[in-house]
Amino acid sequence: MATNWGSLLQDKQQLEELARQAVDRALAEGVLLRTSQEPTSSEVVSYAPFTLFPSLVPSALLEQAYAVQMDFNLLVDAVSQNAAFLEQTLSSTIKQDDFTARLFDIHKQVLKEGIAQFSPQTVFLGLNRSDYMFQRSADGSPALKQIEINTISASFGGLASRTPAVHRHVLSVLSKTKEAGKILSNNPSKGLALGIAKAWELYGSPNALVLLIAQEKERNIFDQRAIENELLARNIHVIRRTFEDISEKGSLDQDRRLFVDGQEIAVVYFRDGYMPRQYSLQNWEARLLLERSHAAKCPDIATQLAGTKKVQQELSRPGMLEMLLPGQPEAVARLRATFAGLYSLDVGEEGDQAIAEALAAPSRFVLKPQREGGGNNLYGEEMVQALKQLKDSEERASYILMEKIEPEPFENCLLRPGSPARVVQCISELGIFGVYVRQEKTLVMNKHVGHLLRTKAIEHADGGVAAGVAVLDNPYPV
């Protein structure tokens, strides 16, 4: 797709002036990150990297991504409630991947206690983001293909609500008011807060608080504050604590109500706990304490496990969606239309065949471990070396193989602190935020609440905004 901004990208002087304007507007709007030098303090901040222009996205694909989000919410929720499916699906992974195994141990322990004493948690809250790329079809038309679904700490809902004004500003400076009007308003943080507020309300204790589990060094704090501020506007108070704080000051009473510093907690919202390096032994114990509590967890451990790559790969097997969403053929069809090719590497004939295919045509595949947080996937020569090493090892079961999505590249100008504005060939990834709340077996909320477009130069194969490669963007519907 040719961009509307083609000629503008050639004029270096004009680009530099626009970049200055855009950066100042971004700072004014609160498109902010703490600096890598001072990640624990807001004394010095800078703008979060972003594109100078919005990127063109086919409206039909944007609509399709929104239309399937409520189906994905239902699917994740169904997977999280299906203990047998999770156990069967992850059985090979937990033998090889210590992190998934430890999450699964907590899951089993809580299930066992729940069956013995009835599950203490009655309110379930899901805040997720499903990410897609636009695959170039043989006839040249783009198709929506899911990359992954993030079921824990799905970020950038706050900053994504601040960037439309920046792109409208740039287009207005260029006297492109009609184009500026086409940039969609977007406020995911408000919708995410609505989900938290609903769970808080259903918990039913007006003095209880929301506990946000934060990292010690959190550069992306303003993204989180956007949600905290939306909650405060509803008189719901949020406290930020680390896993370490919970170890020291968290406790359960005889009814398994959670208390931190003597205050009752209605909802636990995790913005930490998705990567192995975020857990010490003490942190695992804190996670177990939180999981055993009566508070609504976002996510509970079963929902975190539902977001693993291995589950994603198993869901693409024939018949799996029908089993998990019985009597919903339309939802199944919408979901399946977004699936890319996904292949198991479990030891056996099927896994052997997948490895052989990837070694024969490495440019068509990507190797993914069971990890969140960006920067973990292997491509090309690196993938080939890894597959050769893993081929005869049981460890291969902790990876999946995925068809590589090849979007049509386009030009845009990327702005990041400390770097000159540069025009590069880019590809985008579209995320849709989903929110659902369940009480016992009843779904009381199921909605999509906004989008996130992230764009990266094509030399960067992997990595999110926080991982330092992709930048914030807005879709310009065409």
Collapse the DSSP code of 36 into the 3-class scheme (helix H, G, I; strand E, B; otherwise coil) and give the result: coil
Residue 441, both tokens: 């077996």
* d(C-alpha 66, C-alpha 449), whole Å: 9
Of 462, 297, 442, the residue nearest 383 (C-alpha): 462
* d(C-alpha 226, C-alpha 448), whole Å: 18
CB atoms within 10 A of CB 81: 16
Distances in Å between the alpha carbon of 331 and those of 64, 67, 79, 321, 450?
12, 10, 15, 9, 20
- Active-site residue numbers? 129, 148, 150, 155, 309, 368, 372-373, 454
Angle between the N-to-C axes of helices 281-292 and 98-117, in degrees from 0 to 180, rounded to the nearest 10: 30
Residue with tokens 């604590």: 241
State the burial class of residue 269 (Cβ atoms within 10 Å of its Cβ: 0-12, 13-18, 19+).
buried
Q: What is the dihedral of CA 229, 232, 237, 242, to 10 degrees?
A: 0
* d(C-alpha 252, C-alpha 374), whole Å: 34
Give 148's strand partners: 131
For residues 354 and 343, the answer to whether their CB atoms sit within 8 Å is yes
For residues 240 and 118, the answer to whether their CB atoms sit within 8 Å is no
Q: Which segments within 166-283 are labelled E, that is strand?
A: 209-213, 238-241, 250-252, 258-260, 263-270
448's CB contacts (< 8 A; 6+ apart) are 66, 69, 70, 191, 432, 433, 434, 435
Cis peptide before 409 (omega within 30 of 0): no
For residues 347 and 408, the answer to whether their CB atoms sit within 8 Å is no
